[in-house]
Amino acid sequence: MTLRIEFSPNPTEEERQAILLPLRAYNASKADGAVPEHIALLVRDDNDQILGGLYARLFTSGCSSTCCRCRNRPGDRAWARS
């Protein structure tokens, strides 16, 4: 089987779902019932304007109270700097 990576500047909904449906099914099978947390990594300029970033759903199976993600919640600006 020959595979190729194809750039699609304007993907159709069918193409989008062809990627997302199996990906979400796989993630759900590994999440053990965990509810996803929506997170974002934001790229900001000196004027605090968002220039880009990454948006994701993060599945966690529990966390100790000493980890950095629990001490500083996303949305708290210190979280990105800790």
Tokens encoding 48: 């605090």
- Whether 45 is in a domain gets the answer yes
- Whether 18 is in a domain gets the answer no
Of 79 and 7, the one with more pLDDT: 7
Domain count, the chain: 1
Give the model confidence (pLDDT) of 22-63 as tens digits: 998 998 888 887 888 899 999 999 999 999 999 988 877 655
- Whether 17 is in a domain gets the answer no
58 near 37, Cβ under 8 Å?
yes
- Whether 27 is in a domain gets the answer no
3-state DSSP assignment of residue 11: coil
- Whether 75 is in a domain gets the answer yes
Residue 25 phi, psi dihedral angles, 5° rounding: -65, -45
Report the distance separating Cα 74 and Cα 60, nearest Å.
Answer: 14
One DSSP character per residue, 20-59 reads HHHHHHHHHHHTTTPPPEEEEEEEE-TT--EEEEEEEEE-
